Amino acid sequence: MARDNKSLNRRDVLKATGAVGTAGLAGLAGCTGGGDDSGGGGGGGGDDEYPALGNYPIEGDTATFGFNVPQSGPYASEGEDELRAYELAVKHLNEGGGWVDSQFDDLSGDGVLGYTIDHVDGDTATDADQARQSASGMIQRDDAIMISGGSSSAVAIAVQGLCQNEKVMFMCCLTHSNDTTGTDCVRYSFREMFNAYMTGQALAPVVRDAYGEDLQFYQLYADYSWGQTQQASMEQFMTDVAGWEQVESVATPLGTSDYSTYLSGAQSSGADVLILNHYGLDGANSMQQAIDAGIDEEMEIIVPLYNRPMAEAAGGAIEGIYGTVAWDSQIDNTPSQEFTQAFRDEYDRTPSGPAQLAYAQTLQYAAAVERAGTFYPPEVIRQLEDYEYDNIGMGAETMRGCDHQAQRDVPVVQGLPASEQSEGTYFNIVNITSRDDLGYACDAGPAAECELGSYE
């Protein structure tokens, strides 16, 4: 075990490449040259104006993206759809097509900055630990220059923390917790998806108009961070905006399969509205059981965040139930239709909300690289911060610089009855709540607790 302490932090010795100026924090990421033994040589496309950082500069003429999605576990079907969208995005980046041709002027359809885009994928298993392992393999072994993925906030938060340390960019896919761009926000991560806070803001006026004012509501929530922030946001906005009154808010353990005792508590409370803050399989279970118990006949039910596996599992039980979704193929504008069409042409199926997020985030990153003229992460980050765009089918948006949270519209939907559901179509879009009615200032709400950390 050699223990000579002569010059600390000089990792240059390892990597035969010269021109490496800085050392320090970024050490771990850059040094492992993957499977290939050639240290020097390569050199890439020749933008050497920036110091080495994370996996920059890219060796060779291929830039690798890492797609870290749930391929096993309860969100596997969602992850599968995300992966389809990611692969489609890579294909369009290299060969043109889809939004690359029509919506993103920065992109050429001939790679990015002359680099061909390649990708690796990994399984998060909806487990923060596993997701981090998978991401660190992508960063260290496959030299990924950007990581994207998600389907769970805990996973997104864990991976974006890793990416901040490794100085590799992370483009969030589905993550709905306030914390992702709140207390746990990082400089190297950007979120297109809205959060629990905005869901509350978007839903409150819609359900007030639908069900009237002066109602009483009862909440059940999954007892973990997302559930807690979700129920807190619902309480806040149902009280302030809809003018309703909360009877009680009850925590249910994560992964509960039998909600009957909780539901009968809600039923006998005398409240008019039941809000089920559950997601994934929990959401499918609680919703199904609420319907089976006949609660929908006495009370109105609200499910703040829908996803497709949930709708699939609950089937006809979602009829008439209000909620929000990331995106839906029925949204009527050019980018949405183009994406739906491109996805259908490729896979012969309708894309889900997370698929649109995955596709948009990948192209968004690539376009920022083109604008920056380099893969050097701090420059790419600066291109994305406070960037305004209107090309991904959710209206005019701003990627806010202070917390890296997209300021965008939120689609409010209502579940369709079983007879009208078909593959890929489970909801009816009720309202697309404008971003002007949503969000919070940089020094308010979740953003007040956000400290992004350093660029380098």
Q: How many residues bind another protein (CB under 8 A)?
A: 61
Binding mask 70-89 for another protein (x = CB under 8 A): -xx-----------------
Query: Given the complex with another protein, which of 9 and 261 has the nearer CB atom?
Result: 9
Among residues 64, 103, 136, 285, which is the contact residue for another protein, using CB under 8 A? 136
Residue 13 neighbours by CB under 8 Å, 6+ apart: none
Q: What is the pattern of x (binds another protein, CB under 8 A) and - over residues 116-135?
A: ----xxxx---xxxx-xxx-
Decide if 372 contacts 379 (C-beta within 8 A): yes
Count of beta carbons in the 10 Å neighbourhood of residue 329: 21
**Alpha-carbon torsion angle 389, 392, 398, 402, nearest 10:** -120
Report if residue 18 touches another protein, rule: CB under 8 A: no
9 forms part of the interface with another protein (CB under 8 A): yes
Residue 4 in the binding site for another protein (CB under 8 A)? yes
Cis peptide upstream of residue 378 (ω within 30 degrees of 0):
no
Strands (DSSP E) contained in 292-347 are 300-305, 322-324
Closest to another protein by CB, 9 vs 260, is 9
Least CB distance to another protein at residue 129 (A): 4
Pick one of 55, 140, 362, 431: the residue that binds another protein (CB under 8 A): 140
Residue with smaller CB distance to another protein, 20 or 402: 20
Q: How many whole angstroms separate alpha carbon 61 and alpha carbon 39?
A: 15
Transcribe 87-110 into DSSP letters: HHHHHHHHH--HHHHHT-TT--SS
* Rounded distance between C-alpha atoms, residue 451 and residue 303, angstroms: 31
Q: Is 444 in the site for another protein (CB under 8 A)?
A: no
Picking from 286, 307, 275, the residue whose alpha carbon sits closest to that of residue 152 is 307
Q: Does 37 bind another protein (CB under 8 A)?
A: yes
DSSP 3-state assignment of 82? helix
Structure-derived torsion over alpha carbons of residues 309, 352, 145, 110, reported in degrees to the nearest 10: 150
Contact map string, positions 196 to 235, toward another protein, x by CB under 8 A: ---------------------------xxxx-x-------
Residue 236 interacting with another protein (CB under 8 A): no
Binding of residue 23 to another protein (CB under 8 A): yes
Shortest spacing between CB 231 and another protein, in angstroms: 13
* Residue 21 is a binding residue for another protein (CB under 8 A): no
Length of the chain (residues): 456
Q: Can you give the binding site for another protein, defined by CB under 8 A?
A: 1-11, 13-14, 23-25, 27-28, 31-37, 71-72, 120-123, 127-130, 132-134, 136-137, 140-141, 153-154, 157-158, 161-162, 165, 177, 179, 183-184, 223-226, 228, 251, 253-254
